[in-house]
Amino acid sequence: MSSGADYHDCEENDLATLAFVDPLTGLGNQRRLRDRIVNLAAERADDPAPFTMGIANLDSFKPINDVFGQSAGNAILCQVAHRLRACLPDGASVVRLEGDEFAFLLPLVFEKKGAERIGRMFKEVLSAPYDLGDRNVRLSASFGFAVYPFAGETFAELMKSADTALYRSKRRGRGGITVYSEEIANEMKRATQIEQALRRAIIADDVEVHFQPIVDLSNERVLGFEALARWYDNELGTVPPAVFIPLAEERAFIEPLTELLLRKAARAALTWPKDIFLSFNLSSAQLMDPSTAFGILAIVDRVGFDPRRLELEITETAMMSDPETARGILEELRAAGARISLDDFGTGQSSLGRLRDFDFDKVKIDRAFVSEIAWNRPSEHIIRAILTMCEGLDLGVVAEGIEEADQSGKLVKLGCAQGQGYYYGRPMSAEQAYKLVCSGRGKREPDTLDA
């Protein structure tokens, strides 16, 4: 009887141990982390000496599973676990939370600078290539840290603070390191206020579209308009699109915002002459959603707008998160007659490769080069090279950010056919755009266009 009881007790102990272990990586899990934080906080309750916890999240991990399969993703997660465990400071521990998120407890890290130093070390370790047998892949990771007791005194509070810091790192791009602070908490509170107000504005149809002309540089005739989002809130004031559009992407309501903006833009464009096109921007989140092409085409179909008059602008950065899904979306849109334009050309890390791998109709030269073309020889040579290359590839070219006559003149001499910028017209309302195309098709009139 005793041997059976001993076996039963052993089995229960094994089950209890497994309840605290991640089966894939062999690391502890969230329950293990919570126990250790609760115990450490109890030890330091009388004299609350600080300690730090953090969360690491792999950037753009989803495409690994999509492209190479789940087994490849699992192999990478195991390698991440091995690397983190191997470089832990004294007394520290690491667990896997879920998916591609890992957390660590750093009992001997007491303040922000120490957390940032550890974060930089982890970041470097995780950026080395991962071996998948027949290939290597690279990934980056983002980090959020919370220091006890300043960022919270309970496990739940510390997790929330670290997650808030991680979210802020993600907002700022790949490989970010953020330590929670009151300033960050207020920043996130502000973002939530903007989110709630924007959701209400979308329902109320209160986000507006303005239009900036794209012109033939040789005669200043309007060829099309780029649709640009504009939003004014009674409490928040004017909120820049650079603030509210990324927020809509991050918090997963970019789809209703896009539908509202494209519907309004397409309805306005119906009043223009049929040879004038509408240019509309797609976000990075939309280029990771396989239903995007269907949604875009359904909107223009309901409005009655010819997709052959639609030009969709994307950035190279937006394509990089999930290139295969992006390729499928763009192919569907082009098959329906829409044209695809690569925005901010010249600033990406592998723009030439993207021109080879994707079918584009046009590139837009980034304003950083255009703004210096009149006096900076390297900028002039770069634009000259882009124009020569695009001519060989049978691609149209638009120069962005033209603000002065000498910039326009230099572009014309170099053979650039199209351009846009304040020199030809600031973003304007639908009514102003309609008047512009009806008044001689856009010959520049400084007194009216720059007003």
349-365: average pLDDT: 76
- Say whether both 6 and 82 belong to one domain: yes
Prior bond to 149 cis, omega within 30? Answer: yes
Contact of 374 with 407, CB cutoff 8 Å = yes
265-273: average pLDDT: 95
pLDDT at 347: 67
- Say whether both 168 and 293 belong to one domain: no
Work out the pLDDT band at 442, boundaries 50, 70, 90. low
- Say whether both 316 and 228 belong to one domain: yes
pLDDT at 113: 93
CATH of the domain at 99: 3.30.70.270
Indicate if the pLDDT at residue 349 is higher than 60. no
53-62: average pLDDT: 90
60-82: average pLDDT: 86
- Say whether both 328 and 440 belong to one domain: yes
CB atoms closer than 10 angstroms to residue 244 = 22
Indicate if the pLDDT at residue 45 is higher than 90. no
Q: How many domains does the chain have?
A: 2
- Say whether both 205 and 316 belong to one domain: yes
In a domain, 185, yes or no: no
Give backbone dihedrals phi and psi of 305, rounded to 5 degrees, phi first: -95, 135
- Say whether both 113 and 221 belong to one domain: no
How far is residue 424 from each of residues 74, 214, 430, measured CA to CA in Å? 53, 8, 16
- Say whether both 322 and 421 belong to one domain: yes
- Say whether both 272 and 147 belong to one domain: no
Which residue, 150, 180, 210, sits at the end of a domain?
A: 180
Contact of 241 with 230, CB cutoff 8 Å = yes
Indicate if the pLDDT at residue 340 is higher than 90. yes
- Tell me how far apart the terminal alpha carbons of the chain are, to the nearest angstrom: 95
Indicate if the pLDDT at residue 67 is higher than 60. yes
Task: Convert the pLDDT of each residue in 400-437 to its tens digit.
Answer: 999 989 999 999 998 999 999 999 999 999 999 999 98
In a domain, 205, yes or no: yes
* Of 7-21, 29-43, 53-67, highest mean pLDDT: 29-43
pLDDT at 441: 59
46-61: average pLDDT: 88
Contact of 192 with 173, CB cutoff 8 Å = no
State the sign of the Cα–Cα–Cα–Cα dihedral 100, 63, 364, 368.
Answer: positive
Mean pLDDT, the chain, rounded, equals 87
Which residue, 180, 211, 232, sits at the end of a domain?
A: 180
CB neighbours of 96 closer than 8 A, spacing ≥ 6? Answer: 22, 24, 25, 27, 28, 29, 77, 81, 102, 103
Work out the pLDDT band at 372, boundaries 50, 70, 90. confident
Contact of 94 with 88, CB cutoff 8 Å = yes
Residue identified by tokens 């730090």 is 52
Which residue, 130, 161, 180, sits at the end of a domain?
A: 180
Indicate if the pLDDT at residue 15 is higher than 70. no
Instruction: Count the helix, strand and coil residues of the chain and give each as a percent rounded to the nearest 5.
Output: 50, 20, 30
Indicate if the pLDDT at residue 450 is higher than 50. no
Q: What is the largest CA-CA distance in the chain?
A: 101
Indicate if the pLDDT at residue 350 is higher than 60. no
In a domain, 413, yes or no: yes
- Say whether both 394 and 248 belong to one domain: yes
87-103: average pLDDT: 93
In a domain, 186, yes or no: no
Task: Convert the pLDDT of each residue in 224-257 to its tens digit.
Answer: 999 999 999 999 999 999 899 988 988 889 999 9
CB atoms closer than 10 angstroms to residue 125 = 14
Higher-confidence position of 350 and 364: 364
Task: Convert the pLDDT of each residue in 137-189 to its tens digit.
Answer: 888 999 999 999 989 889 999 999 999 899 888 877 778 999 998 888 888 88
- Say whether both 221 and 172 belong to one domain: no
pLDDT at 301: 95
Lowest-confidence pick of 54-58, 61-65, 223-227: 61-65
372-390: average pLDDT: 87
Give residue 330's domain range: 191-449
Residue in 30, 29, 50, 27 with CA at minimum distance from that of residue 40: 50
